[in-house]
C-alpha cells in the first residue's frame, strides 16, 4: 500500500524474471504521469487486460472499477492503511478468484475507547480553564452533534486498527 513497496515488488518480479518489463505496470504517485499509466486510465478494462501484472497503491483510488477482468490471483500488502481503505484498494478489481494478503501486525488492543478519549479531552479543557481563569464556553447543540459524529468516525477508524488482520478478513468474507 506504499509506493516504495510497489516499486520493490516490481523490481523483484523483473529481477526474478517472473514477468517481462512490458507485462508489468506500476501505478503510484511516482508513475501517475507515465504515458503507459495514462493509457491505462483511459480505459481501465483494456489496461487491466493488457498487463500480466498490475501493481498499484492508493494512486489508483476510488472511482476506478475493473469489472470484466478477473485476475488469476490478487496479492495485497497492507502496512499502514486502515482496513476499510485496504478493502477499497482490493475492490478496484470487482471480481477476484483468489486473494492473498499480507497485513502488517500492529494491534492496539489496549488503546483508549472514544469515551476515554472524550473524557481525557474534557479533563484537559477543565484544567486549561482553571489555569487561565476562564470558564469554557457552552457549545451549541449543533456543534455537539458535529463533534459526536467526528468522534464516531475517529472511533471507527481506531477500531479498525485495533486488530487490522481480523477486521480485513471479516470484511473480505462479508464482501464475498
Q: Tell me: the pLDDT tens digits for 25-55?
A: 999 889 989 999 999 999 999 988 999 889 8
Residue 66: DSSP 8-state: B
Burial of 42 (0-12, 13-18, 19+ CB in 10 A): exposed
**pLDDT, average across residues 110-115:** 68
Winning range, highest mean pLDDT, from 4-8, 32-36, 116-120, 167-171: 32-36
Residue 119 CA to residue 130 CA, distance in Å, equals 17
Residue with the bigger pLDDT between 113 and 88: it is: 88
- Long-range CB contact pairs, 13-22, < 8 A, 24+: 13/53, 18/53, 19/52, 19/53
**Of 52-56, 72-76, 87-91, 138-142, minimum mean pLDDT range:** 138-142
The predicted pLDDT at position 169 comes to 74
Mean pLDDT, residues 142-158: 73
User: In a 3-state reduction of DSSP, which class is residue 25?
Assistant: strand
Instruction: Give the cell for residue 104.
Output: 502488517
Considering only residues 134 and 61, tell me which one the structure prediction assigns the higher pLDDT. 134
126-140: per-residue pLDDT in tens?
A: 888 888 888 877 777
Q: Tell me, what's the pLDDT at 156?
A: 67
Query: DSSP string spanning 85-113?
Result: HHHHHHTTBS--S-EEEEE-----TTPPP
Identify the CA nearest to 5 among candidates 92, 93, 81.
Answer: 81
Q: Which residues contact 79 (CB under 8 A, 6 or more apart)?
A: 1, 2, 5, 104
Q: At what angle do helices 164-175 and 141-162 cross, to 10 degrees?
A: 100
Nearest residue to 169 via CA among 104, 103, 80: 103
Mean of the pLDDT values across residues 113-138?
Answer: 81
**Confidence check: pLDDT of 146 > 80:** no
pLDDT at residue 110 tops 70 = no
What's the pLDDT band for 104 if we cut at 50, 70, 90?
confident
Closest CA to 81 of 13, 165, 173: 165
Amino acid at each position: 500500500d506504499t509506493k516504495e513497496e510497489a516499486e520493490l515488488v516490481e523490481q523483484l518480479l523483473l529481477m526474478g524474471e517472473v514477468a517481462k518489463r512490458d507485462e508489468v505496470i506500476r501505478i503510484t504517485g511516482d508513475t501517475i504521469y507515465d504515458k503507459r499509466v495514462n493509457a491505462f486510465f483511459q480505459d481501465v478494462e483494456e489496461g487491466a487486460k493488457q498487463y500480466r501484472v498490475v501493481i498499484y497503491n492508493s494512486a489508483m483510488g476510488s472511482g476506478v472499477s475493473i469489472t470484466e477482468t478477473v485476475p488469476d490471483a490478487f496479492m495485497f500488502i497492507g502496512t499502514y492503511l486502515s482496513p476499510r481503505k485496504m478493502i477499497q484498494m482490493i475492490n478496484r478489481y470487482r471480481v477476484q478468484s483468489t486473494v492473498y494478503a499480507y497485513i502488517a501486525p500492529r494491534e492496539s488492543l489496549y488503546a483508549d475507547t472514544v469515551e476515554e478519549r472524550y473524557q481525557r479531552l474534557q479533563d484537559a479543557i477543565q484544567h486549561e480553564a482553571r489555569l487561565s481563569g476562564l470558564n469554557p464556553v457552552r457549545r451549541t447543540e449543533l456543534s455537539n452533534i458535529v463533534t459526536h459524529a467526528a468522534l464516531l468516525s475517529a472511533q471507527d477508524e481506531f477500531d479498525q486498527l485495533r486488530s487490522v488482520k481480523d477486521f480485513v478478513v471479516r470484511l473480505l468474507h462479508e464482501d464475498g
